[in-house]
Amino acid sequence: MEAPLRRDTDTPLRGVRSNIVQSIRAHRVPDLQEAAQSLGHHFLYANLANAQSKQDVLDMIAAQFTFPSHFGKNFDALYDCMTDPLHKSGPQPGFVVVLEQIPAHAKFDKEAREQLLDIFREASDYWGDRKIPFRCFYSFL
């Protein structure tokens, strides 16, 4: 018999709004993955430590999130992959996304980092409008 799904209050997500993009801070990736699993949510993880450019960041996210091969590798395409096709594929239980070690250097500067996080903020709003939890945690290299 399958164990019943736990509620957010029983997990590391306790006290974390259901639709938010925030620094990973004290959260540990394995705990977030376990929380997503216990809630029946999708867990999407990308380690971006080796990225040198915007293109690298997009390539790594596409590979680690297993996006379709037709992914356009730009910020608009990233937003599209995080929203519409998933919504059209049927009911979604929720999402826990981790973007670990986002680069912080001249080739991926503060503006590029903010644009990236804005995509995930917009995706969080998109899912929030549909009453679907979407939590994104990030850290910088």
Q: What contacts 126, CB < 8 A, 6 or more positions away?
A: 82, 83, 87, 134
Better-predicted residue by pLDDT, 84 or 44: 44
Residue 86 pLDDT class (50, 70, 90 cuts)? confident
> Would you say residue 1 has pLDDT above 50?
no
Q: What is the pLDDT of residue 95?
A: 96
Q: What contacts 123, CB < 8 A, 6 or more positions away?
A: 79, 82, 83, 134, 136
Q: What are 20-73's pLDDT values in tens digits?
A: 999 999 899 999 999 999 999 999 999 999 999 999 999 999 999 999 888 988
> Would you say residue 10 has pLDDT above 90?
no
Q: What are 88-116's pLDDT values in tens digits?
A: 788 899 999 999 999 998 999 999 999 99
Q: What are 112-132's pLDDT values in tens digits?
A: 999 999 999 999 999 999 999
- Please compute the mean of the pLDDT values over residues 12-18 and round it to a whole number: 90
> Would you say residue 84 has pLDDT above 90?
no
Q: Where do the domains of the chain lie?
A: 8-132
Q: What is the pLDDT of residue 137?
A: 98
CATH number of 8-132: 3.30.370.10
Better-predicted residue by pLDDT, 118 or 15: 118
Q: What is the pLDDT of residue 91?
A: 86
